[in-house]
Amino acid sequence: MRESLTVSSPDASFPPGVPARAVVDLDAIRDNVRALRDHAPSADVMAVVKADGYGHGMVPAARAALAGGATWLGVATAGEALALRAGGVTADDARLLVWLLVPGGPFADLVRAGVDVTVAAPWALDEVVAGARAAGSTARVHLEVDTGLGRNGVTPADLPDVVRRARTLEASGELRVVGVFSHLARADEPGHPSVARQSAAFDEAVRAVEAAGLRPDVRHLANSAATLTAPGLHHDLVRPGIAVYGLSPVPQVGAPGDYGLRPAMTLEARLATVKAVPAGEGVSYGHLYTTPRDTVLGLVPVGYADGVPRHASGGTAGPGGPVAAGTGDARRVLRVAGRVCMDQVVLDLGPGATEAAGDVVTLFGASDGVARGADVPNAEDWARAAGTISYEIVTRIGARVPRVYAGKEVQP
Ligand SMILES: *Cc1c(COP(=O)(O)O)cnc(C)c1O
């Protein structure tokens, strides 16, 4: 259902009649990957493009990340890996790893497509071998070890047996263990003791794998937060996701600009209606907001079905999500007035507002955030207003919002 318009500059095309759009600056993605390479000069970069490239569009995001020097791509699901291949991202373009598999998954298709598969539990070895046999080739396997996240990954108790069986299967040519990896629980709290504990557990797991005679090419542990704040954890490969899209994984420590990053997505909408109302008027479902004076309301045609979080409603519960309106001297950041509805939100534009129906407002874009004095909010500002993280803001932008690609990296 998503339509993707392709334009060379963000301003070139916002045709009247289009209620909202997410402009994705592919040059920002490319430049963010370059910046991440500078942060981790001794490692290769795996750009994580799961969840439709964190909502930015998986294939365009992958292409831009490769242009920035990523040599690996990472996705969560088999469907995502195969969609990248179907979208023309080949095994020659980049190594591709998928890590969240379930029994009965398309292992043969993955092996045939040259996708590296993760063994994160004992059952997966059998499925990988069956897939390799069906595909008639050798599966490339990364062992995922649970070093303390308590989520996916082989437990330390199961690791010796998994490693022993993997070694046997390697000898008979069904698979090759090309990687060992783990994932951090609290890398977004730099210096937290659990990070050092997980790092030590990872080193131990790598030793066990190598002691069994396996010779993985790559060891990898670092997500965006560790890539930016824990150089000791870079190993051979770093796996940044959110930072590729220009958002800070550690907003309490630094804004995007502090790390040489810039947000790639701008969410804009056109005011559908602008109208004068008297003081004391209840606004939107539940009347969480009442106009404090005679004022002008503006209706923004995006709502929770488009990914605008309902928790960022404004009124009795606190200030709503921020929206930049106006141009020049009239530029200001307003707060959503009242409930976020399925398809729309309301702004109190203020007495004497000069905005008209059809004018463009910006929910978030490429800035370090209004918390840092910017006049355009960023996704982190919305995350704060909704009590969540910027990841959830960008990945949830709905299919009804067209992604418009901008920048030199747009494929013709
Ligand atoms: C999502 C994910 C990443 C990327 O995490 P960010 O915090 O977005 O950098 C890396 N590795 C794994 C296993 C993941 O699931």
Q: Are 361 and 370 in contact (CB under 8 A)?
A: no
Ligand 1 atom nearest 223 alpha carbon:
9
Q: Which of 48, 11, 68 lies closest to 409, judged by CA? A: 68
The Cα–Cα gap between 27 and 406 comes to: 8
Ligand 1 atom nearest 54 alpha carbon:
8
| pLDDT tens digits, 198-224 | 999 999 999 999 999 999 999 999 999
- Note the pLDDT of residue 4: 46
Site to probe by mutation for ligand 1, drawn from 48, 118, 229 as the one with most ligand atoms within 8 Å of Cβ, is 48
Is residue 408 among the annotated active site residues?
no
- Active-site entry in 50, 259, 391, 405: 50
Is residue 285 among the annotated active site residues?
yes
Q: What pTM was estimated for this model as a whole?
A: 0.96
What are the backbone angles phi and psi of residue 396, rounded to the nearest 5°? -95, 0
Ligand 1 atom nearest 152 alpha carbon:
13
Grade residue 122 by pLDDT with cuts at 50, 70 and 90.
very high
- Token duo for residue 145: 């070890």
- What is the Å distance from ligand 1's center to 70 Cα? 15
Residue carrying the six token digits 């993997």:
166
Nearest CA to ligand 1 atom 8: 241
Q: Which of 36-40, 310-314, 317-321, 353-357 has the lowest mean pLDDT?
A: 317-321
Q: Are 26 and 66 in contact (CB under 8 A)?
A: no
Q: What is the DSSP string of 116-147?
A: EEEE-SHHHHHHHHHHHHHHTSPEEEEEEB-S
| 179 Cβ contact partners less than 8 Å away, ≥ 6 residues apart | 97, 116, 141, 142, 143, 216, 217, 218, 219, 220, 237
| Residue 278: count of CB within 10 angstroms of its CB | 9
Q: Which of 343, 323, 320 lies closest to 398, judged by CA? A: 343
Residues in contact with ligand 1 by the CB-under-6-Å rule are: 48, 50, 99, 183, 223-224, 239-242, 249
- What is the Å distance from ligand 1's center to 241 Cα? 5
- Active-site entry in 245, 285, 304, 391: 285
| pLDDT tens digits, 261-282 | 999 999 999 999 999 999 999 9
Paired strand residues for 140: 176
The Cα–Cα gap between 407 and 265 comes to: 12
Nearest CA to ligand 1 atom 6: 241
- What is the Å distance from ligand 1's center to 224 Cα? 7
The Cα–Cα gap between 251 and 223 comes to: 15
Q: In what order do the strands lie in the sheet with 273-277?
A: 273-277, 295-300, 345-348
- Note the pLDDT of residue 165: 98
Q: CA torsion sign, 240 to 243 to 249 to 254? A: positive
Name the 3-class secondary structure at 180: strand
